[in-house]
């Protein structure tokens, strides 16, 4: 919910997240194939290697911040690979995205975000001149309605893909781990039956509901739940509430990795259904699968800190001890 005094959002009408059809569909079609089931499955072995190396590093240390040292790294490394970011720059982007997403100081967050935009300004120029097989090259050489995307539009959409491909998965992964620590019987159920893991991932997505809200402007008058909404009204949809709707979910305040059916809305719906939904599910499955496969014992090593935000919902810091079984 952008304050009116901030003016129009610079990404409005230009990025996937902030654009209506038909342009939204045109932008989405440029990159949709990269996030399709077949493409994600083709990347799965490399994603598994990334998850394995991240868990290895955390186990060597014995203790870590699950948010920063595990949950943040896996989706960031994966989306960097898809975007054609050289591996030598992954740690740099890890540092600046950590500041942009999680720093307590708003000035630090702002400057980190500007640094991300500056990085993609340079990268899109390189990819426009020498395209490769990656997402930034697709955007840097793309045309919509016969016109090349402007460099500014490419940069904004690169930023959009980086944020979308990392932030919510980071928070869902760490929020899911916190839920499993608070409900040890559910972790035991997964360890006894790894076949429950896909269901467990869906329950983690429902339970964490990391993107807290969506705001839309009504295009026509309608009545919903006895409330009249007029054309032009702004309507806010709260995902944590929807994902605990007692008319949809039996015992909605119970965390249950075996829950079926689980028709949650954590990944959105309709035109703006999360582009990276399949990618996020696979990343979560690989992370928890790696921990389960090695019988890793995870214990709290301090008090978790939650994010202070109405935009996203979950841990800011989750100190843990890890030991392979």
- Give the model confidence (pLDDT) of 149-196 as tens digits: 999 999 999 999 998 889 899 999 999 999 999 999 999 999 999 999
Q: What is the pLDDT of residue 106?
A: 78
**What's the sign of the alpha-carbon dihedral 214, 220, 224, 228?**
positive
The two structure tokens encoding residue 185? 């019987």
Q: What is the pLDDT of residue 325?
A: 80
**All residues at 6 or more sequence positions from 233 whose CB lies less than 8 Å from its CB, including other chains:** 217, 218
Lowest mean pLDDT among 83-87, 107-111, 190-194: 107-111
Q: What is the pLDDT of residue 311?
A: 85
Q: What is the pLDDT of residue 164?
A: 86
Q: What is the overall mean pLDDT for the chain?
A: 93
Inter-residue contact 160 to 15 (CB < 8 Å): yes
> Which parts of the chain fold into alpha helices (H)?
23-31, 37-61, 73-83, 90-102, 106-129, 135-140, 151-182, 184-192, 197-208, 239-242, 277-293
Q: What is the pLDDT of residue 66?
A: 98
Lowest mean pLDDT among 72-76, 107-111, 248-252: 107-111
Asked whether residue 225 carries a pLDDT value surpassing 80, the answer given is yes
Confidence of residue 2 (pLDDT cuts 50, 70, 90): low
Q: What is the pLDDT of residue 293?
A: 95
Q: Average pLDDT of 108-128?
A: 93
Q: Average pLDDT of 120-148?
A: 96
Q: What is the pLDDT of residue 78?
A: 97
Confidence of residue 1 (pLDDT cuts 50, 70, 90): low
Q: Which residue has the higher pLDDT, 216 or 57?
A: 57
Structural domains of the chain, ranges and CATH numbers in brackets: 12-208+277-323 (1.10.630.10)
Q: What is the pLDDT of residue 261?
A: 96
Q: Average pLDDT of 9-35?
A: 91
Nearest-angstrom CA–CA distance, 127 and 135: 10
Q: What is the DSSP secondary structure assignment for residue 251, as one 8-state letter?
A: S
pLDDT per residue over 59-77, tens digit each?
A: 999 999 999 999 999 999 9
Confidence of residue 17 (pLDDT cuts 50, 70, 90): confident
């Amino acid at each position: 919910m952008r304050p009116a005094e901030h003016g129009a959002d610079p990404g409005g009408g230009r990025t996937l997240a902030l654009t209506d059809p038909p342009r939204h569909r045109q932008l989405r079609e440029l990159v949709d194939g990269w996030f399709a089931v077949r493409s994600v499955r083709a990347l799965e072995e490399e994603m598994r290697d990334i998850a394995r190396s991240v868990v290895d590093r955390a186990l060597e240390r014995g203790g870590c911040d699950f948010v920063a040292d595990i949950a943040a790294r896996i989706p960031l490394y994966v989306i960097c690979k898809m975007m054609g970011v050289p591996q030598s720059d992954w740690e740099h982007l890890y540092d600046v995205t950590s500041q942009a997403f999680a720093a307590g100081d708003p000035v630090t967050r702002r400057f980190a975000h500007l640094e991300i935009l500056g990085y993609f300004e340079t990268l899109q120029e390189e990819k426009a001149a020498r395209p490769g097989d990656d997402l930034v090259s697709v955007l840097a050489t793309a045309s919509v309605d016969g016109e090349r995307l402007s460099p500014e539009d490419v940069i904004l959409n690169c930023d959009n893909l980086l944020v979308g491909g990392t932030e919510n998965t980071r928070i869902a992964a760490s929020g899911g781990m916190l839920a499993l620590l608070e409900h040890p019987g559910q972790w035991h159920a997964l360890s006894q039956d790894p076949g429950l893991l896909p269901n467990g991932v869906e329950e983690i997505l429902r339970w964490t509901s990391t993107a807290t809200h969506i705001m839309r402007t009504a295009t026509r008058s309608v009545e919903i739940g006895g409330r009249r909404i007029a054309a032009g009204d702004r309507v806010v949809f709260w995902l944590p509430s929807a994902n605990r709707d007692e008319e949809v979910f039996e015992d909605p305040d119970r965390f249950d990795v075996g829950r079926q059916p689980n028709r949650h809305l954590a990944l959105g719906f309709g035109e703006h259904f999360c582009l990276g939904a399949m990618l996020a599910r696979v990343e979560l499955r690989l992370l928890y699968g790696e921990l389960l496969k090695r019988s890793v014992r995870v214990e709290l090593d301090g008090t978790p800190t939650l994010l202070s935000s109405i935009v996203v919902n979950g841990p800011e810091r989750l100190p843990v001890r890890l030991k392979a079984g």
